[in-house]
């Protein structure tokens, strides 16, 4: 596996509400908790989940206007001209950068350099100049549209030619609601009532391309709602006196389970392990 100076990690899905922001928060939180320097960027200011949760605040509790991406979360919108942050962040020399991209943000990313609707060629060529790898973390739910989103990204990146080795893929299955493999028939494949084999092709393509898959663990919805109200990441919520012992324990279990999902294979793709 090629070694790169920088890794641009983007949580993506063409479908909104798939869990991208939760995944981005969990990833940044877990790795910062390990002491790994990680720059965070919220490319969806209309929602601002990453910014609201990880952004640094002043003495009054208000979000600071000036955000150090290594300490907090820098806000921008992939939908307007501030999308240039996607590549301009490379000048800072951060080894690992996480960008939470708004649902359906692929078209907006393509607008960055005026690429054709079926191309990210200029985007990848630009980051390649800085010896950077783009890691697309695709959020999956049982909805077939999330699988179609992965297929769309694979279609585009498979046509990059020699630049293709600057792109990697991770499929993250959102297990919210205590889902299991059986709840993802379009991803894993299934046999219909007539005996015909369906689905599973996109997963096979991703794995054949050197991609990997992991889970976003489930968490009690009540506990998650309380955590969002506090506007703090999982590791902080797990120790907040405002949380009951039950809620603290649920958050602690989530952080433990998520950390276990960051296997050596996943860390290799993220550029965190040789």
Kindly give, in sequence order, each residue whose CB lies less than 8 Å from that of residue 159, ignoring residues fewer than 6 positions away. 118, 119
- Res. 212: pLDDT tops 90: yes
Residues in the chain: 274
Residue owning tokens 């919520």: 237
Residue 47: pLDDT band with limits 50, 70, 90:
confident
For the record, the structure tokens of 59 come out as 């003495």
Residue 274 confidence (pLDDT): 67
The better pLDDT of the pair 274, 130 is held by 130
Q: What is the mean pLDDT of the chain?
A: 95
Burial of residue 33 (CB within 10 Å: 0-12, 13-18, 19+) is middle
pLDDT of 18 reads: 86
Residues 6+ away with beta carbon under 8 Å from 35? none
Query: Please, how many CA atoms are within 13 Å of residue 191, restricted to the half-sphere of its CB?
Result: 2
Compute CA distances 149 → 7, 45, 156, 187, 226, whole Å. 22, 22, 11, 11, 31
What integer pLDDT is reported at residue 57 of this predicted model? 94
Write the pLDDT tens digit of every residue in 176-196: 999 999 999 999 999 999 999
Is the confidence at residue 213, as pLDDT, over 70? yes
Identify the helix (H) or strand (E) that includes residue 174.
strand 167-174
Looking at 65-74, 77-86, 100-109, which range is the least confident one?
100-109
Whether pTM exceeds 0.75? yes
Q: Quick one: average pLDDT of 89-103?
A: 95
pLDDT score at 19: 93
């Amino acid at each position: 596996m090629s070694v790169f100076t920088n890794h641009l990690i983007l949580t993506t899905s063409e479908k909104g509400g798939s869990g991208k922001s939760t995944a981005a928060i969990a990833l940044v939180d877990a790795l910062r908790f390990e002491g790994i320097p990680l720059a965070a960027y919220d490319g969806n200011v209309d929602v601002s989940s990453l910014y609201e949760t990880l952004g640094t605040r002043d003495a009054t509790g208000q979000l600071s206007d000036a955000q150090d991406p290594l300490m907090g979360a820098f806000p921008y919108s992939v939908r307007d001209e501030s999308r240039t942050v996607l590549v301009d962040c490379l000048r800072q020399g951060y080894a690992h950068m996480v960008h939470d991209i708004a649902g359906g943000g692929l078209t907006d990313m393509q607008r960055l350099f005026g690429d054709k609707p079926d191309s990210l060629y200029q985007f990848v060529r630009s980051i390649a100049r800085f010896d950077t790898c783009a890691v697309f973390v695709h959020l999956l739910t049982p909805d077939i549209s999330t699988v179609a989103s992965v297929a769309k990204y694979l279609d585009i990146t498979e046509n990059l030619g020699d630049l293709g080795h600057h792109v990697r893929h991770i499929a993250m299955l959102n297990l919210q609601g205590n889902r299991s493999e059986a709840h993802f028939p379009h991803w894993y494949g299934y046999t219909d009532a007539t005996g015909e084999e369906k689905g599973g092709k996109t997963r096979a393509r991703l794995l054949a391309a050197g991609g990997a898959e992991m889970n976003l663990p489930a968490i009690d919805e009540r506990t998650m709602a309380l955590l969002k109200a506090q506007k703090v990441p999982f590791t902080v919520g797990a120790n907040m006196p405002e949380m009951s012992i039950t809620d603290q324990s649920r958050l602690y279990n989530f952080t433990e389970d998520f950390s276990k999902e960051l296997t050596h294979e996943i860390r290799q793709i993220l550029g965190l392990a040789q």
